[in-house]
Amino acid sequence: MSLHFSRNTKVYLEQGANIWEIPVLDGFSFSQATNASEITLNEMTDTAGNSRRARQMFNDSYAPAEWTFASYMRPNAIAAADGGAVEEALWANFVAVNSWSAGAGWDASVSSSSANNTQEFVFTNSNKSVLGTFNLYFVMGASTDADEIYVSSSSVTIYKIADCVANEASIDFEIDGIAQINWSGFGKIITDEASLSANAAIDRSQSSTSNFIRNRLTSLSAVSAISGSSRNYSLTLTGGNITMNNNMTYLTPETLGVVNQPLGHVTGTRNIGGNFTCYLSTATNASTQLFEDIIGATTTVTNDFDLTFKIGGDSAPSVKVKMPNCHLELPTHSIDDVVALETTFHALPSNISSADEAVITYTGS
């Protein structure tokens, strides 16, 4: 009997004729459930004192497949032959209906600058009822050989999740950790595949060790005129999170007599927000001033803060998440050995019809 270990698993993303290898962390998962109906009887006894108490089960449909995994944020120099973010295929399909071709790059919402070694992902084209779809492959028992042509056998099992969508991307700031993204989404159905040819997979220099980002170098720039004049707040982070959610729903038919399969997805309200923590400081324009300005703005219905998280700092490799129109809730005090403030923020568009809540910029070294 051959067993599969999570450490011998590789993940691939397929879109059209192109395939990317996505290096993931331990803790990935994928599953699919069945929607079933239970039929029961509720009757009185007959003349002999008997009452039927059995039940029947019917499979109505398959629920959409669910998948989740984490990947490191890894920018590469655009000028390099294999330039671009390691996880660029996920971002490209998260923010738009997208496709990729060699030499031309992505169709929409992704731009690159070889002069500045930057790759930018924007939400400009995300006001769509559907977003980019792709297939995910989980190869259990994958080899570490350069020749990545897999055939299901007693030592290799290949699972495919068809028509996947990226629903949520969450970035956590763990001070002593390496910057990473927690991805989750849906798919149509999970199947056991006979083979997968990933020999020409795009890996975006995933073997490099110079494209990891240290969270401890992360900084936050916060600018607002909530006090009556423009003020640049000096905030040193101790932790935080940025979560981006497409709030997708998978639609499934309800035809009688068959086990229905998920049909496809539709997008919901785009939701970008998160929180950040910092020590309570009385320095000039520090966290104490931030609290005073927000609690004193009794005539301001919607706060307007320009937040820029520089993950990894100003030096490459780094990732900058700029959210120019953020509404901040009143910070809450956390009483510990050192008193801290925790602030929740909501990234908003410039108007109700726009899609400019955030700009994600990868800078390779």
The pLDDT, as a whole number, for residue 103 is 79
Identify which has the larger pLDDT, 294 or 114: 294
Q: Where is average pLDDT lowest: 14-18, 76-80, 351-355?
A: 76-80
Kind plus residue range of the DSSP H or E element containing 216: none
Banded model confidence at residue 146, pLDDT cuts 50, 70, 90: low
Contact 345, 328 (CB under 8 A): yes
Q: Which two tokens stand for residue 205?
A: 């220099």
Average pLDDT over residues 185-204: 92
Average model confidence (pLDDT) across the chain: 91
* Percentage, residues of the chain above pLDDT 70: 97
Enter the DSSP assignment of 98: -
In angstroms, the CA 137 to CA 24 distance is 12
What integer pLDDT is reported at residue 76 of this predicted model?
Answer: 86
276-314 in b/e burial notation, b at 16+ Cβ within 10 A? Answer: bbbbbbeeebbbebbbebbeebeeeeebebbbbbbbbee
- Percent helix, percent strand, percent coil in the chain, to nearest 5: 5, 45, 50
**Domain range annotation of the chain:** 6-33+64-363
- DSSP assignment of 304-352 equals -EEEEEEET-SSSSEEEEEEEEEEEPPPEEE-SSS-EEEEEEEE--SST
Query: 């599953």: which residue's tokens?
Result: 31
Residue type, 32: Q
**Bond before 317 cis per omega within 30 degrees:** yes
Q: What is the mean pLDDT of the segment spanning 62-73?
A: 95
What does the pLDDT average to over 169-191? Answer: 94
Question: Rounded to 5 degrees, what angle do the CA atoms 162, 72, 22 make?
Answer: 30
* Greater model confidence, 297 or 319: 319
The continuous run of DSSP H or E covering 251 comes out as strand 249-251
Under the banding of pLDDT at 50, 70 and 90, the label for residue 205 is confident
| Mean pLDDT, residues 279-305 | 90
Residues above pLDDT 90, as percent of the chain: 67
Of the candidates 168, 356, 170, which has an alpha carbon nearest to the alpha carbon of residue 248? 168
Q: Looking at residue 145, what is its pLDDT? A: 65
Other C-beta atoms closer than 10 Å to the C-beta of 72 total 18
Q: pLDDT, tens digit, for every residue of 244-288? A: 999 999 888 888 889 888 999 999 999 999 999 999 999 999 999
| Backbone dihedral region for residue 84 (phi beyond 0: left; psi -120 to 50: alpha; all else: beta) | left
Alpha-carbon radius of gyration of the chain: 24
Q: Is the dihedral of CA 184, 187, 190, 194 positive or negative?
A: negative
The predicted model gives 170-182 an average pLDDT of: 92
Q: Report how far residue 214's alpha carbon sits from residue 29's, in angstroms, rounded to the nearest whole number.
A: 26
Q: Which residues pair with 262 in a beta bridge?
A: none
28-49 per-position pLDDT tens digit = 999 999 989 899 988 899 999 9
Collapsing DSSP states into helix, strand and coil, what is residue 25?
coil
Window from 3-12, 45-54, 202-211 with minimum mean pLDDT = 202-211
- Do residues 119 and 107 touch, judged by C-beta distance below 8 A? no
- pLDDT on residue 207: 78
Model confidence at 81: pLDDT above 70: no
